[in-house]
Structure 1
Amino acid sequence: MDELTMVRGWEADERGLSDAARVAARARLGAAMVEESRSGASRGRAPSRRLVFRTALVGVTAAAVGVTVVVAQDAKDDHKPRLGAIGATEVLQKAADRSRAAGNDLPVPRNDQYFYTRTYITQTPVEGGKTRTWTDESWMSVDGSKPSLRQEHGKIHHDPPLGKHEVRWPPTIYSKLKAIPTDPDNLLARFRMGQPSSPDNDKYAFFEGCMLLMGPRVMPPGLQAAAFEALAKLPRIRLDYDDVDVAGRTAVGVSYPTMEWTFLFDRKTYDYLGLRTRGSSPKKVHGEWKQVNYYYETRSLQDIQVVDRIGQHG
């Protein structure tokens, strides 16, 4: 199972995005994230999620309207003590083994069906304070050809079908997911877009892995495990010391430097539990808009079903 959100591509080719198109799209995404973060902060609003993270996964967007998700980690936080890269590698390998052992009992979805999800969300201020919680239910069209209903932080949103020149990446259509390699080395090469290992290329590989593992989709056999094994090969991945509670289960986090997305796994079983992000909200301080009220948000997919219509629960 997988969590959170994904980006829509810029090409609507039946074959999906080519490597060249994905490289260009990712570059445009990165530039858009930087530009929108700057301009959004100056105007006192969040980056445009339609431009940066146009919601394609029902009920699992990274932030609500008026809230900015922090993707780049503050430099001072990069010096927090960590457990070491070998520990993160071992956790991801164990998570891969667990994924293969658990299997998947969901049916292969038809393109005209929906993913029903129930997601448990907690939001806790970084400096301490009351934790807010939500349980959101959503229905997302499998191939994007139908309207979707998305609940986010308790609020209902009606998402239109994908436009003529919009596609989802990574895909949610099963046949397209089956075309993704399940060999970890080949998958990592795809995540890196064929580029050699470097801090920047590996950061984007981690990002590509996040996109594949986030949000509701039915994974073909071995694909989720291969994704964990591919990410385990990144040289700078790390474990967090922080103890994170995910719906009553203590989790260990795996992250990448300068990325504020952390995969969460059960400390005992290595089940994939969800994802934690660090976010903030804009506020005018002495006449200038600044990001304040930092918080950690954790999302855990409690249920996913393949259904025929909005409102059906499986």
Structure 2
Amino acid sequence: MDELTMVREWDGGTASDGPSVQARADARARLRTAIDEESRSAASRGRALSRRVMFRASLAGLGAAAVGVAVVVARGDEDDGTPRLSTVSATEVLRRAAERSRSQGSDLPVPRNDQYFYTKTYIRRTPVKGGKTRTWTDESWMSVDGSKPSLREEYGKIHHDPPLGEHEVRWPPTVYSKLKAMPTDPDKLLAQFRFGGEKTPEADRNAFFEGCMLMMGPRVMPPGLQAAAFEALSKLPRIRLDYDDVDVVGRSAVGVSYPGVDWTFLFDGRTYDYLGLRTKGSVPKKVGKDEWVQTGWYWETRTLQDLQVVDRIGQHA
């Protein structure tokens, strides 16, 4: 999936440490410039932005308005199976999601660098102002370390992606050894998400941004990393529950978001399983010689239905 191939240049630090703070800041500035240029170019050709550009633009954009700070969720009664209702905060949802992640673990093998991630992703898009909802179920094969060509299906269309260039890397990484080098202590991971910055709204927004990127998948998480990510983000003071009535592949979801970020984490309201991400997107439209507006706003949810580690493109398990 191309949204995971967030290409950034290494500029100082070791491979296990990832890009330096300055390198990330510089990369963000270059990405925003590239987004503007690519948006105008794509719209002038009469086609939608590529998935890579759409992903970058969404993460850099403004967030949707919040609709509450707590939500009523169903809790199963261990004695008779009757749901109980309780009110939880965004912080509590993330903490329970962390507990759920630790208890579940993973049955996926540690991927080799020469293998592929096979994914089946369910996408649901609904216009903000009402209209027809569209859905897709896409299958993709992504090279684990980016050294091989990948095959990506996006909104039902097939794309053949070349290997990463000599100075290109994925961040967050998909290589297991690099993921394993990331801290599983929530406080240390949060500091890394903040790029070592102070506890400011901007640093916290960066942290939520990084957490979204880490959870976009596909990647095989080392033990405790996903749980640590949820616990780290639970410490952010401005996180909020976004909504409680979204259907994700037949499951009702609760969302956790952060002001200024267009992405929302989705969790099962009963089990606190991580389900996927929701975003607000749009299509640029040219209205003058050098003037553009964003139109066709929509809500989109993505749910990873299947993830396997395979040896070749076309293999499912």
Q: Which residue matches 2:305?
A: 302
* Contact map agreement 1:172 1:218 (CA 8 A) in 2: yes
Change (3 A) 1:174 1:14: farther
Map 1:208-247 → 2, pairs under 5 A: 208-247=210-249
**Cα deviation code 1:200-245 (max 9, x no counterpart):** 1111111111121112111011110000000101111110125211
Q: Which residue matches 2:84?
A: none
Change (3 A) 1:208 1:69: closer
Q: Which residue matches 1:28?
A: 26
Structure 1 gaps of 5+ residues are: 55-60
Shift of 1:49: 5.9
Instruction: Output the TM-score relative to the length of structure 1.
Output: 0.86
Change (3 A) 1:16 1:149: same
Shift of 1:254: 0.6
The one of 102, 119, 122 equivalent to 2:121 is: 119
Alpha-carbon separation, structure 2, partners of 1:294 and 1:48: 14
RCO higher in 1 or 2 (8 Å CA, sep ≥ 6)?
Answer: 1
The answer to whether structure 1 residue 273 and structure 2 residue 266 are counterparts is: no
Map 1:86-97 → 2, pairs under 5 A: 87-97=89-99
Q: Which residue matches 1:62?
A: 55
Change (3 A) 1:198 1:172: same
**Cα deviation code 1:156-195 (max 9, x no counterpart):** 1111111111111111111111111101011111111222
Alpha-carbon separation, structure 1, partners of 2:55 and 2:39: 17
Equivalent residue of 2:98, what SS? Answer: helix
Map 1:13-24 → 2, pairs under 5 A: 15-16=14-15, 18=17, 21-24=19-22
After superposition, the CA RMSD in angstroms is 2.8
Change (3 A) 1:210 1:243: same
Alpha-carbon separation, structure 1, partners of 2:59 and 2:210: 17
Alpha-carbon separation, structure 1, partners of 2:203 and 2:29: 15
Given residue 277 of structure 1, which amino acid in structure 2 is its aligned partner? Answer: T
Structure 2 gaps of 5+ residues are: 72-87
Alpha-carbon separation, structure 2, partners of 1:155 and 1:165: 28
Percent identical across equivalent pairs? 63
**Cα deviation code 1:124-174 (max 9, x no counterpart):** 000111110000000011111111100001111111111111111111111
Q: Which residue matches 1:73?
A: 62
Q: Which residue matches 1:9?
A: 8
* Contact map agreement 2:16 2:178 (CA 8 A) in 1: no
Instruction: Output the TM-score relative to the length of structure 2.
Output: 0.85
Alpha-carbon separation, structure 2, partners of 1:106 and 1:189: 28
Q: Max radius of gyration: which structure?
A: 2
